[in-house]
Structure formats: C-alpha cells, structure tokens
Amino acid sequence: MRRTTLLHLGCSILALWSAYFVNAEDDYKYYEWTVTYGTASPLGVSQKILLINGQFPGPRLDLVTNNNVILNLINKLDEPFLLTWNGIKQRKNSWQDGVLGTNCPVPPNGNYTYKFQTKDQIGSYTYFPSTGMHRAAGGFGALNVYARSVIPVPYAKPAGDFSLLVGDWYAAGHKVVFV
C-alpha cells in the first residue's frame, strides 16, 4: 500500500515536471535599433536616407514562429518616426502595430520598446516606416518568420535564402515629397 502511494507520488512529480517544461515560455529575442540619417545615391544623386543601426536596408529580422520580440527603437532623427511590422498579426496587440491611430510615432531623441509575438505564423515579411513619407527614404528591411524545427514542412530545405526588397525613391528627399 505504502509502496503504491510512493509510486503515485513519484509519477505525479514526474507529470508536473514534464508539464512545466512542455509549457515553458516561447523564446524571447531582444534588439536595440537606432534610426539615424545617412547619405546614399540610389538614383545617382546624393541624398539623405534613413539608416537603422547604420545600415540600409535595415537589419534583417530572422525570427521563428512564436518568438517574443522585445525591440527598443531609438529615434535620433529631428522628426518623429514610427515602424510597422507588416504582416505580423498582432493578435490582441494592435497598439504594437506601428501605424497612426494605434501607435504614436517615437519623438526625436525618444525611444519606444515594441513587444510582440510572431504567434502561429510563418512567412517573408517586411518592416517599414509608416509616417512622413519616410518609406521613400529607406528605414525598411526584411522580416522573416521561419517554421519551428519541430514542425515538418512538405518540401526540401532550400538551397539558398535571399531577401528581395523593393522601394520607391525620389531624388527630392522625403521631406520635400511629404509636403
């Protein structure tokens, strides 16, 4: 009798222990991005463009389904700036979507920490600035959400993986275009 109780206790502890690990939280990914001006000549004429962490295109976000993203965006421009995560569903999380109406632009010298999850989705997406014609001056990049390794996919592993970003450029610069 005593043995059985002990065995039951042992099994319950094992069950609780595995439940704890099965329900462990999804991975967190932390980023700090700083937006600044830079110069480039995408149309053969030198113009002011927008860089993220000194880069155009901005850093490629390589995520996996269900990742939790904590991304602090620091605005070093002389104008408000807002990024949107195009294609991310933002379930019950619309104030992280980075569009006017749900999100305020980040003021100059301010920062804002986006918190969102790539919940139950895979795909190739982009992020881009959603206000002030900033998108015509850069500030965008690729956002990939890969399948979790435990989820089988019905195709072979690709031989290569490239991000193709297409944007409109105006030699006049984004502030002139915006007016």
Cα separation, 173 vs 163, whole angstroms: 25
Number of residues that bind ligand NAG (CB under 6 A): 4
Is 88 in contact with 118 (CB distance < 8 Å)?
yes
Find the binder of ligand NAG among 68, 90, 93, 111 (CB under 6 A): 111
Nearer to ligand NAG, 31 or 125 (CB): 31
Q: Give the whole-angstrom CA distance, residue 40 versus residue 46.
A: 5
Q: What are phi and psi of 144, to 5 degrees?
A: -110, 135
- The least distance separating ligand NAG from the CB of residue 36, rounded to whole angstroms, comes to 13
Q: Which of residues 35, 52, 74, 82 is near ligand NAG by CB under 6 A?
A: 74
Of 44-73, binders to ligand NAG (CB under 6 A) are 72
- Give SS3 for 72: strand
Q: How far is the CB of 110 from ligand NAG (least distance, A)?
A: 6
